[in-house]
A and B are shown apart, each in its own frame.
Chain A
């Protein structure tokens, strides 16, 4: 769907300031039909990359390549892209209905098509009751939802979302994530940036990881997890008296009278044999799978 090829962007705020390299030779690819998470801490270069993709700012070096299925010229490509900026403010005096008709009209939809799509999506976003109210009366969550509705009102093939879940409460996040997943399942390519790792782990099949303007990882979420898998186990036993002979980390939970040991995979059999021989009550054996969040923080701290 998109190739971001060796892009460099340098900002210079004024004549006396030092140039700031926002993106340093960054390359990645967004395959058609994928759900790609764009991960990085604040200031990593995510929004700058998205602005370059949307042609709001121009790269100093590198090239951008959209696949031919989106179209041959900018006008055709933009017709098939849905974009939601980070923390958009919208036009406060327009009603929700007017706002959707405005943006739908700009995407070359007929009035009847816009009305149909509003009827289809507004109940799903739970804003159908508020469409005749001015946007300045909307809560932050409602603004985010109408923003997302406006992003998909023209049924785009490629959806780009900049921090779409920021500022939402847990229920709002869950609802919006469910819609993003549904839209992706209907065959759309979704590319969304976030600094919240768990959101990306939950719904994306690929992840692009930027750190201070440099590319750190571009690939499948699962393969990243597998690469950083430590193959450790947690063993839980009843009581406090048991001490295994193998190398371990020990945690004791006083309330449940349970002791927990963290061990390596190769020591698992030895420890289990010791537990059985000493007639210690085994409560559980659990494989420790590192989360994307842990990997993210590990990579950042290196």
Chain B
């Protein structure tokens, strides 16, 4: 089964790679270098931080964009074009098909992250910055965040059409980043019922803010190990839980 899973991943990767989606990554990388160069003219003393800020921001935007837009069409395209029938009419269990497709897309995500993070680190380094471990962790957690978003959108695409799945996933992403700061506002603190609602939200939907280490990388340069471990376990287990749900539903779904 592992061989078939890897085969589906490989050809999913090839199919997306050949669609020239990574040209966008290269374009973003070049834009990053140009913007960093221009920004150095306006920043005094901290051009490396600006480079890191721009770089991590673009890295985050591009990987979340890939997850959102390619994830929303990953399964619907297969079903609409009937290519899924060509695969699952072979001795391939549905769970192998779905994991293979997701892994193929994750490989594209990782290449995007690799290219942009190398460019970001190079820009920062050339402008006098240093490559520290927290920056690397920020990049790793960015991958984790993109994978989690990918699984959210794939899960929603099992029920909703492509547009709705994209919009709802984007909302979940935005809420998942905003929820912590919202909870800390005095407006919410003064209203206990609002806090209860937000706590309930927390229990069900993903708290993406936990996986955002950009501020640690740019400003604080240090991070507690316990925070890293907790956030990593949260992201990993939430992703595995979503993957389990996707497999469970896809196994029972009428592919019509």
Contacts and interface: CB of A to CB of B under 8 A. Distances in A.
Interface string B1-12: 001100110010
Contacts of A88: 81-83, 85-86
Interface residues of A, number: 33
Given A93-B14, A105-B4, A105-B7, A85 B82 contact: yes
A91 B15 contact: yes
Contacts of B87: 103, 106
A106 B4 CA distance: 6
Interface in A20-64: 51, 54, 56-58
B91 A107 contact: yes
Given A85-B85, A91-B11, A106-B7, A78 B90 contact: yes
Interface in B5-41: 7-8, 11, 14-16, 18-19
A167 B90 CA distance: 25
Interface string B34-60: 000000000000000000000000000
B88 interface: yes
A225 interface: no
Contacts of A76: 91
B16, B18, B89: residue with the most chain A Cβ atoms closer than 10 Å: B89
A134 B19 CA distance: 11
Contact of B254 (A58, A78, A87, A108): A58
B83 A56 contact: no
Q: Is the interface of B mostly helix, strand, loop or mixed?
A: helix
Given A56-B255, A87-B82, A93 B18 contact: yes
Contacts of A102: 7, 11
A74 B93 CA distance: 9
A98 B11 CA distance: 8
Contacts of A83: 85-86, 89
Interface in A201-229: none
A103 B91 contact: no
Contacts of B256: 51, 56-57
A54 B85 contact: yes
B205 interface: no
Contacts of A154: 90
B91 A90 contact: no
Contacts of A240: none
A89 B255 CA distance: 16
A86 interface: yes
A8 interface: no
Contacts of B255: 51, 56-57
B92 interface: yes
Contacts of A107: 90-91
A79 interface: yes
B19 A90 contact: no
B7 A86 contact: no
A258 interface: no
Nearest to A102: B11
A106 B87 CA distance: 7
A139 interface: no
Given A92-B15, A98-B11, 18 more contacts: A54-B85, A54-B88, A57-B254, A57-B255, A74-B91, A78-B91, A85-B82, A88-B86, A89-B82, A90-B86, A91-B15, A93-B18, A102-B7, A103-B86, A103-B90, A105-B3, A106-B7, A106-B91
30 contacts: A51-B256, A54-B88, A54-B89, A56-B254, A56-B255, A57-B256, A76-B91, A78-B90, A78-B91, A81-B89, A85-B86, A86-B82, A87-B82, A88-B81, A88-B83, A88-B86, A89-B82, A91-B11, A93-B15, A93-B18, A93-B19, A98-B11, A98-B14, A103-B87, A103-B90, A105-B3, A106-B8, A106-B91, A106-B92, A108-B91
The 3 closest A-B pairs by CB, nearest first: A89-B81, A93-B18, A83-B89
